[in-house]
């Protein structure tokens, strides 16, 4: 249980850093989405029950600041977690490059799913697609740059808390 709490605290830190980045970039009309980072490490490296709990709590954290109905992020993060968890045995999950690639794919899928969920609340796609594509490109770049640091933070946090999931996975 200690591992879940430690991983949730790292997700809280990620949420705070992303919120500050989005606040700083608001003048440029840019929005960063880092949902792939909320799911990837716990889906690849942590046992199912513990990882799913962390992903759902991270989704609820994102839901708290979202204009979408409460639970949307949590449901999408849980779905992404289960899909990645079921594919993890076929991946070289100890490699940082593989983790980053998975984070980018999950981030893309979650971004598109959230964009689809907001379809009723935005103008026609033809008027907003440049903004959506630019936000997606910048979000993917941010995830690619931050993922190695964030995965190392999560691993080191678990080691410091003596809750390393590698012993139990």
Q: 51, 86 in Cβ contact below 8 A?
A: no
Q: How far apart are CA 11 and CA 154, in angstroms?
A: 9
- Long-range contacts, 128-136 (Cβ 8 Å, 24+): 131/29, 134/30, 135/30, 135/31, 135/32, 135/33, 136/33, 136/108, 136/111
Task: Give the residue from 64, 139, 159 showing the smallest Cα distance to 167.
Answer: 159
> Quick one: pLDDT at residue 100?
97
> Quick one: pLDDT at residue 168?
44
Q: How many CB atoms lie within 10 A of CB 58?
A: 27
* Tens digit of each residue's pLDDT (9 = 90 or more) over 66-100: 888 899 999 999 999 999 999 999 999 899 999 99
Task: Give the residue from 33, 59, 11 showing the smallest Cα distance to 157.
Answer: 11
Tokens of 56: 């759902």
> Quick one: pLDDT at residue 128?
73
> Quick one: pLDDT at residue 162?
82
Q: How far apart are CA 60 and CA 58, in angstroms?
A: 5
Give me the residues of the chain with pLDDT under 70, please.
Answer: 119-126, 163-169
Tokens of 152: 């190392």
């Amino acid at each position: 249980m200690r591992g879940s709490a430690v991983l949730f605290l790292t997700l809280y830190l990620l949420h705070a850093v992303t919120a500050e980045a989005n606040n700083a970039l608001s003048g440029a009309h840019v929005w960063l989405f880092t949902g792939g980072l909320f799911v990837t490490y716990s889906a690849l490296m942590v046992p199912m029950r513990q990882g799913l709990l962390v992903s759902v709590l991270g989704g609820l954290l994102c839901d708290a600041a979202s204009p979408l109905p409460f639970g949307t992020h949590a449901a999408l993060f849980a779905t992404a977690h289960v899909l990645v968890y079921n594919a993890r045995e076929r991946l070289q999950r100890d490699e940082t490059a593989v983790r980053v690639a998975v984070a980018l794919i999950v981030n893309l899928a979650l971004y598109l799913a959230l964009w689809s969920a907001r379809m009723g609340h935005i103008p026609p796609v033809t008027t907003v697609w440049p903004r959506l594509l630019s936000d997606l490109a910048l979000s993917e770049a941010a995830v690619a740059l931050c993922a190695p640091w964030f995965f190392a933070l999560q691993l080191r946090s678990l080691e410091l808390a003596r809750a390393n999931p590698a012993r139990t996975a």
